């Protein structure tokens, strides 16, 4: 199967904080590069899982590994506005969780200097620069309630351009959410949340 992808780990190190910007419905988000494994286009072949709801798109074969696909917009309760084939996938892999999160579009890589962050805190250590979570009071009131638990603040790429402000999205929060994991387990037919997104291997049938 021809699946175009971009291995994010191959990007050269940069002194500023790096993030992947993406769009879900009317909001633009940015997530730490450390939380995104790679970016995919929608594959030609997706195996639908019978009995699941619309936000569980199915599974696809990613270089011999079974990748579950979840439409983030639909999971958050938004009405679809973009054709399914035009969307893109952000692959996350954290501990036993291996999942493809479908977003409306990927805007691209963004480099953010420490001085232009708003309502967010930067923490530096020897291995990477990561965005720390902030209190929910810093999240704008316009952010839908269903998404707020994943949003840690806002940041502005260019202070002279208000439209360059992004909501800081935490995939760590999403992946550690019992609500997300239990819903996925129920809808994919697995017995427990830790099995819903475990990395599997393709047996050749997909």
Quick one: pLDDT at residue 132? 40
What SS3 class is residue 23? strand
Residues of the chain with confidence (pLDDT) below 50: 1-15, 115-117, 121-137, 187-196, 205-206
CATH class of 5-197: mainly beta
67, 46 contact by CB (below 8 A): no
195, 68 contact by CB (below 8 A): no
| Report field, pTM of the whole predicted structure over 0.85 | no
Quick one: pLDDT at residue 114? 52
- Give the Cα separation of 101 and 39 in Å (integer): 10
Quick one: pLDDT at residue 142? 85
Of the candidates 19, 44, 46, the one whose C-alpha atom is nearest the C-alpha of residue 33 is 19
- Ordered by start, the domain boundaries in the chain are 5-197
The residues facing 60 across adjacent strands are 67
The tokens of 5 are what?
A: 């992808």
Quick one: pLDDT at residue 80? 84
pLDDT tens profile 105-126: 999 998 876 544 455 544 444 3
């Amino acid at each position: 199967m021809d699946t175009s992808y971009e291995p994010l780990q191959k990007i050269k190190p940069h002194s500023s904080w790096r993030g992947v910007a993406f769009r879900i419905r009317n909001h633009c988000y940015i997530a730490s590069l450390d939380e995104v494994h790679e970016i995919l286009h929608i594959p030609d072949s997706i195996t639908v899982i019978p009995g699941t709801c619309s936000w569980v798109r199915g599974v696809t074969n990613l270089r011999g590994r079974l990748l579950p696909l979840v439409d983030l917009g639909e999971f958050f309760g938004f009405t679809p506005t973009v054709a399914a084939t035009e969307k893109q996938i952000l692959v996350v892999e954290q501990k036993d969780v291996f999942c493809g999160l479908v977003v409306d579009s990927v805007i691209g890589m963004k480099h953010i200097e420490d001085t232009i962050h708003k309502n967010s805190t930067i923490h530096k250590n020897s291995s990477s620069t990561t965005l720390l979570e902030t209190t929910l009071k810093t999240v704008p009131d316009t952010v839908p309630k269903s998404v707020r638990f994943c949003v840690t603040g806002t940041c502005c790429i260019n202070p002279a351009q208000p439209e360059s402000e992004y909501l800081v999205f935490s995939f760590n929060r999403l992946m550690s959410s019992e609500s997300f994991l239990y819903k996925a387990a129920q809808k994919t037919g697995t017995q427990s949340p830790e099995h819903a997104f475990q990395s599997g291997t393709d047996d050749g049938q997909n």
